[in-house]
Amino acid sequence: MFYSPVITNAAEAAKSDRLHLFKYVEDPDQDKLDTFVKHGGYAAWRKVLDGMKPDEVIAEVKTSGPRGRGGAGFPTGMKWGFIPKDSPKPRYLCCNADESEPGTCKDRVLMERDPHGVIEGMAIASYAIGCHLMFIYIRGEFFFCAQQIEAAMKEAYAKGYLGKNIFGSGYDLEMIVHTGGGAYICGEETALLNSIEGHRGMSRIRPPFPAIEGLYACPTIVNNVESLASVPHIINRGGEWYKTLGTEKSCGSKIFSLSGHVKRPGNYEVELGFSLKKLIYDEAYGGGILGDKKLKGVIPGGSSTPFLLPDMIDVNLDYESLVEKGSMLGSGAVIVFHEDTCIVWVIKKLIHFYRHESCGKCTPCREGTGWLEKIINRIEAGQGKPGDLEKIDDICNNIMGRTICPLGDAAVMPIQSSLKLFRDEWQYHIEHGKCMVKSDFSFG
Amino acid sequence: MTEDVKTKEQAKPEVPMVSFTIDGRQESVPKGTTVLEAAKELGIHIPTFCWHPKLKSVGSCRMCYVEIEKWPKLAVSCATEVMPDMVVFTNSEKVKQGRKAILEFILANHPLDCPTCDKGGECDLQNLTFAHGIDDNRFDFQKNRFTSSTEGTTFDDKRIGPEIILNRNRCILCYKCVRANKEAFGEYDLGVYERGNIAEINSAPGKQVTNPFSGNLVQICPVGALTGADWRYKIRVWLTKTSPSICNFSSSGANILFYKDENKNKIHRVTARRNDAIDDGWIPDITRYGYQIVGSDERLKTPLIKKEGKQVEATWDEALDLIAKKLNEINEKKGRVCIGGMAAPHIDNAGLYSFSKLFRTVFKNNNVDHRSNYRMLPKEAGSHYITLCNRKFRISDIDDSDVIVIFGSDLLKEHHNLYLRIRKAYNFNNSRIFSVNPYSMKSSDVSEAELVYNVGTDEVLVNAIGLAAIEMELVDNTIGQKFKEKIIHKTLSEASGVCGVDEDLIKLIARAIANSKKISFICGELFSRSLARDNISSAILNINKLFGIENKGQIIALARYANSCGANKMAILPNPSKAVVDKLTELWGEYPEAEPKNTDAMLALMRKEEINGALIMGMNPIMMYPDRQFVTEGLERLDFLIACDMFETETTEIADVVLPMSSWAEYPGSYVNQEGILQTVPAAVKKLHQSKSPFEIVKCIAEKLEAQLFESDEQLNNEIEQLLSINDSDILPDEFLKVKFNPEEIEDDYLIPLFIGDDPHHSGYLTQKSNSLNNFRSEAYLELSPELAQKLGIEGGESVRVESPVGKIIVPTIISDYLDNDVVFIPRNFSTTPVTSLLMRKHRIDRVKISRVDE
Q: Which of B104, B16, B22 is nearest to B63 (CA)?
A: B104
Is residue B348 within 8 A of residue B669, CB to CB? The reply is yes
Q: Which of B195, B223, B429 to mutate to test the interface with A (most CBs of A within 10 A)?
A: B195
Q: Do B105 and A362 touch (CB under 8 A)?
A: no
Interface of A with B in 319-378 (CB under 8 A): 355-364, 366-371, 374
Q: Do A371 and B139 touch (CB under 8 A)?
A: yes
Amino acid making up residue A100: S
Across the A:B interface, residue pairs with CB atoms under 8 Å apart total 89
Interface of B with A in 121-150 (CB under 8 A): 138-141, 144
From B202's Cα to the closest Cα of chain A, the distance in A is 15
Please classify residue B14 by burial: count the beta carbons closer than 10 Å to its beta carbon, then call 0-12 exposed, 13-18 middle and 19+ buried: exposed
Q: What is the pLDDT of residues B286-303, one digit of tens each?
A: 999 999 999 999 999 999
Q: Do A364 and B57 touch (CB under 8 A)?
A: no
Q: Do A398 and B104 touch (CB under 8 A)?
A: yes
Q: Which of B751, B675, B681, B670 is nearest to B717 (CA)?
A: B670
Q: Average pLDDT, stretch A341-352?
A: 94
Interface of B with A in 74-93 (CB under 8 A): 74, 76, 79, 81
**Rounded CA separation B19/B84 (Å):** 6
Q: How far apart are the first and last CA of chain B?
A: 61
In the predicted model, is pLDDT for residue B30 greater than 60?
A: yes
> Cα torsion for B559, B560, B565, B571, to the nearest 10°?
-110
Q: Quick one: pLDDT band at residue B5, thresholds 50, 70, 90? A: very low
Is residue B508 within 8 A of residue B761, CB to CB? The reply is no
Q: Do A401 and B72 touch (CB under 8 A)?
A: yes
In the predicted model, is pLDDT for residue A438 greater than 80?
A: no
**Rounded CA separation B454/B438 (Å):** 6
Amino acid B334: pLDDT: 87
Question: Among partner residues B98, B108, B173, which is closest to A371 by beta-carbon distance?
Answer: B108
Q: Quick one: pLDDT band at residue B145, thresholds 50, 70, 90? A: confident
In the predicted model, is pLDDT for residue A440 greater than 80?
A: no
In the predicted model, is pLDDT for residue A187 greater than 70?
A: yes
Task: Compute the C-alpha angle B324/B325/B328, nearest 5°.
Answer: 80
Q: Quick one: pLDDT band at residue A439, thresholds 50, 70, 90? A: low
pLDDT > 70 in chain B, percent: 97
Q: Average pLDDT, stretch A69-89?
A: 89
Amino acid B4: pLDDT: 42
3-state secondary structure of B97: helix
Is residue B780 within 8 A of residue B786, CB to CB? The reply is no
In the predicted model, is pLDDT for residue A4 greater than 80?
A: no
| Helix A115-129 × helix A54-64 angle, to 10° | 120
Amino acid making up residue A132: H
**Rounded CA separation A144/A155 (Å):** 16
In the predicted model, is pLDDT for residue A380 greater than 90?
A: yes
In the predicted model, is pLDDT for residue B83 greater than 90?
A: yes
Q: Which of B558, B645, B67 is nearest to B311 (CA)?
A: B645
Q: Average pLDDT, stretch B433-444?
A: 92
Q: What's the mean per-residue pLDDT of chain B?
A: 92
Q: Which of B563, B560, B520 is nearest to B544 (CA)?
A: B520
Q: Quick one: pLDDT band at residue A221, thresholds 50, 70, 90? A: very high
Q: Where are the alpha helices (DSSP H) in B619-666?
A: 621-624, 628-636, 650-653
Strands B449-452 and B432-437 turn out to be parallel
**Rounded CA separation B263/B776 (Å):** 30
Task: Please give the C-alpha separations between residue B27 and each of B21, B71, B765, in angstroms, as whole numbers.
Answer: 6, 20, 53
From A403's Cα to the closest Cα of chain B, the distance in A is 8
If you ran DSSP here, which 8-state letter would residue B302 be given? S
**Rounded CA separation B5/B254 (Å):** 11
Amino acid B783: pLDDT: 95
Q: A203 in contact with B at a CB cutoff of 8 Å?
A: no
Q: Average pLDDT, stretch A263-270?
A: 95
Strand order in the sheet with B553-557: B449-452, B432-437, B403-407, B519-523, B553-557
Q: Average pLDDT, stretch B554-567?
A: 94
Q: Quick one: pLDDT band at residue B154, thresholds 50, 70, 90? A: low
Residue environment code for B154-173, b if the CB has 16+ CB neighbours within 10 A, otherwise e: ebbbbebbbbbbbbbbbbbb
List of chain B residues whose C-beta atoms are within 8 Å of the C-beta of residue A362: 59-62
From A255's Cα to the closest Cα of chain B, the distance in A is 32
Which residue does chain A place closest to B80, by CA atoms? Answer: A207
- Measure CA B550 to chain center: 24
Q: Which of A411, A301, A291, A273 is nearest to A349 (CA)?
A: A411
Strands A253-260 and A266-271 turn out to be antiparallel
Task: Compute the C-alpha angle B30/B34/B39, nearest 5°.
Answer: 90
From B50's Cα to the closest Cα of chain A, the distance in A is 10
In the predicted model, is pLDDT for residue B8 greater than 80?
A: no
- The DSSP line for B147-172 is --S-TT-SS--EEEETTEEE-TTT--
Q: Quick one: pLDDT band at residue B76, thresholds 50, 70, 90? A: very high
Residues 6 or more apart whose Cβ sits within 8 Å of residue B234: B268
Q: Average pLDDT, stretch A219-231?
A: 96
Task: Compute the C-alpha angle A175/A178/A183, nearest 5°.
Answer: 150
**Rounded CA separation B150/B286 (Å):** 28
Amino acid making up residue A363: T
Can the peptide bond before residue A207 be classed as cis, meaning omega within 30 degrees of 0? yes
Which residue does chain B place closest to A183, by CA atoms? Answer: B195
Q: Average pLDDT, stretch A160-175?
A: 96
Amino acid A444: pLDDT: 36
Q: Do A367 and B196 touch (CB under 8 A)?
A: no
List of chain B residues whose C-beta atoms are within 8 Å of the C-beta of residue A371: 105, 108, 139, 141
Strands B25-30 and B17-22 turn out to be antiparallel
Amino acid B153: pLDDT: 60
**Rounded CA separation A124/A229 (Å):** 10
Amino acid B3: pLDDT: 39
List of chain A residues whose C-beta atoms are within 8 Å of the C-beta of residue B58: 204-205, 361
Q: Do A367 and B108 touch (CB under 8 A)?
A: yes
Task: Output the pTM of the full model.
Answer: 0.92
Q: Do B144 and A200 touch (CB under 8 A)?
A: no
Strands B65-68 and B87-89 turn out to be antiparallel
Q: Average pLDDT, stretch B536-543?
A: 94
Q: What is the pLDDT of residues B525-535, one digit of tens each?
A: 888 889 899 99
Three-class SS string for B720-731? HHHHHCCCCCCC
Task: Please give the C-alpha separations between residue A261 and each of A136, A316, A405, B25, B836, in angstroms, as whole numbers.
Answer: 33, 20, 31, 58, 82
Task: Please give the C-alpha separations between residue A24 and each of A117, B715, B760, in angstroms, as whole numbers.
Answer: 10, 97, 65
Q: Which of B62, B73, B202, B426 to mutate to test the interface with A (most CBs of A within 10 A)?
A: B62
The number of C-alpha atoms within 13 Å of B31 and in the hemisphere containing its C-beta is: 6
Q: Quick one: pLDDT band at residue B9, thresholds 50, 70, 90? A: very low
In the predicted model, is pLDDT for residue B12 greater than 70?
A: no
List of chain B residues whose C-beta atoms are within 8 Å of the C-beta of residue A403: 62
**Rounded CA separation B771/B498 (Å):** 45
Q: What is the pLDDT of residues B687-714, one digit of tens each?
A: 999 999 999 999 999 999 999 999 999 9
List of chain B residues whose C-beta atoms are within 8 Å of the C-beta of residue A374: 141
Q: What's the mean per-residue pLDDT of chain A?
A: 93
Q: Do B62 and A364 touch (CB under 8 A)?
A: yes
Q: Average pLDDT, stretch A319-327?
A: 92
> Cα torsion for A385, A389, A393, A399, to the nearest 10°?
40
